[in-house]
Structure 1
Amino acid sequence: MEGLNWTRVSQFHLLGITDLPHLQPVIFVLFLLVYVFTLVGNLSTVAVVISDEKLHTPMYFFLGNLSLLDIFYSSVTVPKMLAGLVGEEKVISFVGCFTQLYFFHFLGSTEALLLSSMSYDRYVAICKPLRYHVLMGKLVCAQLTLICWLIGFLYSLAETVLISLLPFCKKNTVTYFFCDIKPLLKLLACADTFLNEITVMLVTGSIGMAAFFITVVSYVFIFMNLMKIHSVSGRSKAFSTCSSHITVVIFFYGTVMCTYLGPTSEGSIEKDKVAALLFTVVTPTLNPLIYTIRNQEVHRCLRKLFRKEKIWK
C-alpha cells in the first residue's frame, strides 16, 4: 500500500561532470572549444558532400548523414552540460529529462544502424565491385538511411515511454551530466524495475546486436576477399577505403560497451561518466577528422569550397 503515497518528481538535479568549483571553469572552456570544433568539423563535411558532385556517391552520402547525426547527437547533451558548469541551477524538468533521453537514444541507435549500412556499402564496393552501382543505387541508399532513422525513432519512443511510466520517488538527484537509462532505472525509480530492464535490454540488445552483427559479418567477408588479392599494393588500396570506418566502429562500440554492459552502482556510474563523455563529446569530434585526415578527395573539395567562399566575399 505504500505505493499510494508515492509522489512523482517534477524535476531532476543533474550533478554534472564534477562538483569541484575550481575545475568547472576549466572544463567549461575545454568542452566549449570541443563542441565548437564538433559543429565546424561536421558542418564542413556536410557542406562538402552536398556542394561537390564528385562526392555524390553512396559512401559520402552515408558520411554526410553520419556528420549530421553527430551534430544533433552532441547537441543533445553538451549545451545542457555547459550550462550546468557555469550556472548555479543544475536542474532539468521531468519532461526535459525524458526529451533528452529520447533524442539521445534515438540518435545513438540510428548511428549504430547507419554504421552497419556503411559497412555493407564497403562490403559491396570491395566484394562485388561490378554490381556496386546496381546494389547501392541512390534509391537503395535513401531507403537504407530512412530505415535507420525510422527504427531509431520507434525504438527510442517505446523505450522512453516505458521508463517514463515508472514512479520516480526514491530521489531526484542524477549523478550524471545528462539523463540516461542506467542512472534513471537503477538510482531513481522506486518501483521494481526488473521488467523494465529486461524489456529495454531485449529491445536495445536486439537493435544493437543486429547492427553489430551486420558490421562484423560485412568485414569478415571483406577481409576474406582482401586475402585473395595477391599484390600488397592492391590489398592496401582496397583496405584504405574502409580503414576509417573500422576506426569509427571500434571507437563507437568500445565506448558504448564500456558504459552499458557493466554492473550498475553509485561507483560504476562515476566510471561510466568517462565512457559517456567519450561517445557523446569526443567521438562526434573525431569522426570528421578520422574520415578526412587521409582522404585526399575530401581535402581537394574542402580547398575548393574555401576558395569559393573567399571569391564570394
Structure 2
Amino acid sequence: MAFSDFHQIQYILFITILLMYLTCLIGNITVIFLVKTETSLHSPMYFFISLFAALEIVFVSVTVPNLLANLITGNKSISFTGCFAQLYAFSALGETECCLLAIMAFDRHLAINSPLHYTIIMNHTFCLLLASLPWIVGFIISFIPTIFTAWLEFCGPNEINHFFCDFAPLQNLACSDPFISNVVTSLAAIVTVVIPFVIIAGFYIQIIVTVISKMNSSESKHKAFSTCSSHLIVSSLFYGTAMIVYIRPKANHYDKFLALTYTVLIPLVNPFVYTLRNRIVKDSLGKSLRCFVRNFHYNFL
C-alpha cells in the first residue's frame, strides 16, 4: 500500500524520494572513489567507511526502486516469493550494517586506546576478517526470523500497510498465531541491534575516559573526538529508529514513516557526515575536484 492514503502528493513524494536516492548513490560512490584513489585515505578507518558506503548503496536499493515504482505506477503488487526475498535481503543488510558500525567503533577504540599496537593489530588480513564478520552474522541470523515468518499461514488479507515487505506488517497478515515469529524477530533484533549498540556505547565510554584522562593537549583531544564524532552521529541516527521499530514488532501507522528515516534519509546523510566533518576527506575531495577541473579544461577547452 505504501503511501496510498496520500493520493494528492504521490508525485511530490516520487520526485523527493528519487532525488534523495540519487543523491545517496552519488554521495556514497564518491566516498568509495575517494578512499580507493587517494593514498592519504588508505587506512583501516577509511577502508571500513568505504565498505559502509558500499553497504548503504545495496541497502537502499533493496527497497527504494520498488517504492518509486509503487508511487508512479498503478501496479502495487509483489509476488509471495519476491516479498520474502525482499524481506530477507533488507533484514540481512540492516543487521550487517549494525554489526559493521560496531566493528568501526572497535577500530576507533583500538586507535585511541592502543595507538602503538594499532598498525600491528589492524593488518590487512585482520581488516578483511573484521569486514567479512558482519556479513556472515547478518545473513545467518536474519534467515531465522524470515523462515519463521514464511512458515505462517497466509490465507486472508494481502494488503501490506508498508512500502516494503517487513516483519511486523507480514506477521499481522497471518491467519495463524504469529507469537513465536514475533518473539524470534525480537530476539534476532536484540542480538544484531541491541548488542552491537551496547558494544558501541562501551567502546565510546572508554574512548571518552581515555581522551579526558590521558590526553593533555586540547589539540590531541579535538583530533580524537573529531575522528569519532561522525561515526557516533551515524550510529545514533540508525540505531535510534531501528530499535524503535524492531524491538517491539507490532506494526503501527507510523512505522513506515520511521522506516523512511533509516532506509532513505540516513543513507543520504551519511556520506555528508563522513566528508563534511572530516578534514582529510574534505582535502582529498578538493584535490580530486581540482584535478578533474584541470583535466576537463585541458581536454575540452
* TM class, shorter-length: over 0.9
Structure 2 SS opposite 1:230:
coil
Counterpart check, 1:202 vs 2:187: yes
Inter-partner Cα distance in structure 2 for 1:41 and 1:56: 19
Pick one of 117, 121, 139 that aligns with 2:107. Answer: 121
Deviation sequence 1:116-150 (CA, Å, 0-9, x none): 00000110111111111012112111101101111
- What's the offset of the Cα at 1:166? 1.4
Q: In the alignment, which residue of structure 1 is the partner of 2:225?
A: 239
Pick one of 196, 199, 206 that aligns with 1:221. Answer: 206
Inter-partner Cα distance in structure 2 for 1:116 and 1:56: 20
- What's the offset of the Cα at 1:60? 0.3
Pick one of 278, 281, 300 that aligns with 2:283. Answer: 300
Which consecutive residues of structure 2, in runs of 5 or more, have no partner in the other structure? Answer: none
Inter-partner Cα distance in structure 2 for 1:17 and 1:112: 27
- TM-score normalised by L of structure 2: 0.93
- What's the offset of the Cα at 1:81? 0.5
- What's the offset of the Cα at 1:161? 2.1
Q: In the alignment, which residue of structure 1 is the partner of 2:274?
A: 291
- What's the offset of the Cα at 1:21? 2.2
- What's the offset of the Cα at 1:239? 0.8
1:26-105 correspondence runs (5 A): 26-105=12-91
Pick one of 21, 24, 39 that aligns with 2:10. Answer: 24
Structure 2 SS opposite 1:142:
helix
- What's the offset of the Cα at 1:194? 1.3
RMSD of the TM alignment (CA)?
A: 1.5
Deviation sequence 1:18-63 (CA, Å, 0-9, x none): 4232200011001100000000000010111111122110110000
Identity %: 39
Counterpart check, 1:277 vs 2:225: no
Range with greater deviation from structure 2 (105-114 or 189-198):
189-198
- What's the offset of the Cα at 1:292? 0.5
Deviation sequence 1:252-286 (CA, Å, 0-9, x none): 11111222234625xx2x21112110000001000
Structure 2 SS opposite 1:241:
helix
Inter-partner Cα distance in structure 2 for 1:145 and 1:19: 41
Amino acid at match of 2:15: V
Inter-partner Cα distance in structure 1 for 2:273 and 2:3: 26
- What's the offset of the Cα at 1:302? 1.9
Deviation sequence 1:45-85 (CA, Å, 0-9, x none): 01111111221101100000110011011111111111011
- What's the offset of the Cα at 1:220? 1.2
Pick one of 170, 173, 177 that aligns with 2:156. Answer: 170
Q: In the alignment, which residue of structure 2 is the partner of 1:6?
A: none
Q: In the alignment, which residue of structure 2 is the partner of 1:152?
A: 138
Q: Number of residues paired by the alignment?
A: 295
Cα contact 2:67–2:163 (8 A) shared by 1: yes
Amino acid at match of 1:40: I
Q: 1:89 to 1:35 in 2, by over 3 A?
A: same
Structure 1 SS opposite 2:78:
strand
Which consecutive residues of structure 1, in runs of 5 or more, have no partner in the other structure? Answer: 1-14
Deviation sequence 1:187-209 (CA, Å, 0-9, x none): 21111111222222223312223
- TM-score normalised by L of structure 1: 0.90
Q: In the alignment, which residue of structure 2 is the partner of 1:106?
A: 92
- What's the offset of the Cα at 1:217? 1.2
1:239-278 correspondence runs (5 A): 239-262=225-248, 264-265=250-251, 268=252, 270-278=253-261
Inter-partner Cα distance in structure 1 for 2:181 and 2:6: 34
- What's the offset of the Cα at 1:159? 2.5
Inter-partner Cα distance in structure 2 for 1:221 and 1:295: 22
